Amino acid sequence: MVDVLPLVEARLRTALGEPDARAAVTFLGTDRIEVLRFHEGDIVRYATLGMSAQPMSDPTATLADPVKGPRAELVLSVRAGLAETDKVLRPLAVLAASPQVEGVIVAPGASLDIGEPLWPGAPFSSVLVAEPGGLVEDLALDEPLDPIRFLPLLPMTANEAAWKRVHGAQALQERWLAHGTDLRDPARASVSLA
């Protein structure tokens, strides 16, 4: 088995610069998940490192394929200094461990819910998984391994998450765009859903 994590960290450093902090979380029965923090101007980015160590497998499969299957890491971008966003490290690690713990495949358009605020006082307890490729390019691996995708996370309020369940991810993203929603504002209100 190839250790993909050094390659992942190198790709993150190339795209986002040097991390200025990192934390590690290990959940019982899972691999260690690290969260790296990067600053770029007034934006702080948090990226997971460890989710892609194993491919995500279909929860209905009898046996998980140790080689084939989608691989991903998560990236959250927020405005710095407006909230205690550094407390998002553990919730991000929980989301990154969900494929191992719950057997889910994390893909664009999915909603992931923590069940508690992403950081103290946050109006968000869930995120929308967005399309990869904009901020950090996919990392190609040798065949037969799938490439590693770096999936942006967009925080959702409870109302937005409920609306997305009915109307879909694309409709919610269009509503955000139409209203000029600043998705990096860690204290933003819910977009108008009327």
Q: Residue 59's pLDDT is what?
A: 66
pTM over 0.85: yes
Q: Rounded to whole angstroms, how far apart are CA atoms 154 and 193?
A: 17
The answer to whether residue 52 scores a pLDDT higher than 90 is yes
The answer to whether residue 130 scores a pLDDT higher than 60 is yes
Q: How far is CA 184 from CA 63, 77, 96, 152, 180, in A?
A: 39, 6, 20, 11, 12
- Cβ proximity of 140 and 162 under 8 Å: no
100 versus 39: the higher-pLDDT residue is 39
Q: How far is CA 157 from CA 87, 121, 136, 152, in A?
A: 18, 12, 25, 16
Least confident window among 25-29, 42-46, 67-71, 111-115: 25-29
The answer to whether residue 29 scores a pLDDT higher than 80 is no
Residues in the chain: 194
What's the chain's average pLDDT? 91
Q: Rounded to whole angstroms, how far apart are CA atoms 101 and 93?
A: 12
